[in-house]
Amino acid sequence: MKLKICGMKYNIAEVAALQPDYLGLIFYDKSPRNFEGIIPELPKSIKKVGVFVDEAIDKILQKIEKYELDAVQLHGNESPDYCKELRKYCYAELDSASQNEIIKVFSIKDEFDFSQLQPYEDVVDYFLFDTKGKLPGGNGYTFNWDVLKDYPSTKPYFLSGGIGLEEIDNVISFLQREESKYCYAVDINSKFEIKPGLKAIEKLEEFKKYVSSSDF
């Protein structure tokens, strides 16, 4: 099970020292976690994810080049055709060493129409399921994970949305159930913050300790 820590803005080096698998940087000017700084040198084992909301493809490509991103997370209303076009650049026109994973976000509350995933099957690498709320992300509360009992795909997905220390038992329980079969990573953010973009290292360490001891 992979771990993604998203919404990075301030103490990136400290968080990177915990060796998560992914670090997410938000490039959306309406977000309090919008990133405009300099990324410190990170271990090669950590993948840098750029999070975008209905952004023009050329702007995404500029961020990929500037920050040497390893993955792109699409958190808006991006269509399958948009994802197909982005994938063409990420997998064909960029240098092979710079190919980028594409993660498409879908927001859930108490129910979800999984048929809308089908057009994205061949144009993204992962799905990410987040909590439906007022903001594109970072709303701070979980959705009903029982919805994922109806997950029809074999595509790996990220589990996101308001996951904190108080959910650790629920996370471990979920990962023992059949509907977690294709859960590839857990994505944490706002529940581990001192303020938007500034992560609470001790809380992250505790979360990582629990998940490591549980073969998470």
Helix axes 57-67, 80-88, angle to 10 degrees: 40
In this structure, which topology does domain 2-213 adopt according to CATH?
Answer: TIM Barrel (3.20.20)
Nearest CA to 112 out of 152, 57, 168, 54 is that of 152
Q: What does the pLDDT read at residue 208?
A: 85
What is the sign, positive or negative, of the torsion defined by CA atoms of 196, 201, 206, 207? Answer: positive
Nearest CA to 185 out of 67, 97, 105 is that of 105
CB hemisphere CA count around 1 (13 angstroms): 21
Whole-angstrom distance, CA of residue 149 vs CA of residue 90 = 32
Q: What does the pLDDT read at residue 215?
A: 59
Write out pLDDT tens, residues 140-197.
Answer: 568 889 999 999 999 999 999 889 999 888 888 888 889 899 999 999 998 999 999 9
Q: What does the pLDDT read at residue 142?
A: 82
Q: What does the pLDDT read at residue 109?
A: 81
The values of phi and psi at residue 40, to 5°, are -65, 165
Q: What does the pLDDT read at residue 212?
A: 67
Three-state DSSP state, 133 = coil
Q: What does the pLDDT read at residue 92?
A: 61
Alpha carbon 39 to its chain centroid, in Å, reads: 18
pLDDT band at 4 (very low <50, low <70, confident <90, very high): very high
Q: State the chain's mean pLDDT as an integer.
A: 89
Cβ atoms 100, 69 nearer than 8 A: yes
How many Cβ atoms are within 10 Å of 191's Cβ, its own excluded? Answer: 19
Whole-angstrom distance, CA of residue 210 vs CA of residue 213 = 5
Q: Where do the structural domains in the chain lie, given as residue ranges?
A: 2-213
Write out pLDDT tens, residues 50-98.
Answer: 999 999 999 999 999 999 999 999 999 999 999 999 998 887 655 555 5
Q: What does the pLDDT read at residue 91?
A: 73
Residue 110 is classified by DSSP as S
Residue 34 is classified by DSSP as B
